[in-house]
Structure 1
């Protein structure tokens, strides 16, 4: 698999075309992400903003995260499917939810972040690179 990638929400009102490869694919165990993922981590692919074309109406909610950055979460206002997040610290990236991307995409997490906030029952793959909090910024996507 590889670029281009596509995505769509559960009702089909929001779609995406992604023209490049992700800079990172990771799980986030922070408390805010676990709220939007029903208790589990979010699993996300970070793409260069210029590579992501979203069609359809999005609804947004924003908050200041534990990192101190403002995070904006976007979702379909019709069906509620989480679509992506973006950080004030990294405007060059859009972080798309793997569940929003059309299968088969072949993407899998290589890193688990904010593991210090994971619940006691969390099972984190020991093969993943792990960060207890905010990781360093990924390099630009190739």
Structure 2
């Protein structure tokens, strides 16, 4: 994947760029992500938060995930597009929703997480790593 990615929301009110290579890419089947992805897994690109630059106004929704982590999700208040999320316990990383990238093609998931929550019809790439629940942070031993 590129060392610089750009993207934005559906209506164009929010734009962003991320400098630096992604830490990893994941498809998440947790129930929260299923809600956010309209029933499917959310495809996420995890990046260093220091590289994220946003123009436009975002709104934030804070909740506690099944992992127990407090999650801060940011979205466009005009069109509702979910753009980013971050766990307060990992301020160094930001999750970028792959569907908001100008070029989402390279965001193929390296792993699938929370597969224990996926519906029977939920697809996973058999060649990628699978985690039944929350994996270790990117870069940790055996974490994707």
| TM-score (norm: length of structure 1) | 0.94
Alpha carbons 2:23, 2:138 under 8 Å: kept: yes
Describe how 1:102-121 pairs up with structure 2 within 5 A. 102-103=102-103, 106-121=106-121
| Count of equivalent residues | 140
Unpaired runs of 5+ residues, structure 2, are none
1:47 corresponds to 2:56: no
Deviation at 1:23, TM superposition (A): 0.3
Describe how 1:1-142 pairs up with structure 2 within 5 A. 2-103=2-103, 106-139=106-139
**Cα RMSD for the two superposed structures:** 1.3
3-state SS, counterpart of residue 38 of structure 1 = coil
Deviation at 1:107, TM superposition (A): 2.2
- Give distance in 2, aligned partners of 1:65 and 1:107: 23
3-state SS, counterpart of residue 71 of structure 1 = strand
Q: Indicate how the Cα distance of structure 1 residues 104 and 112 shifts in structure 2: closer, same or farther if over 3 A, else same.
A: closer
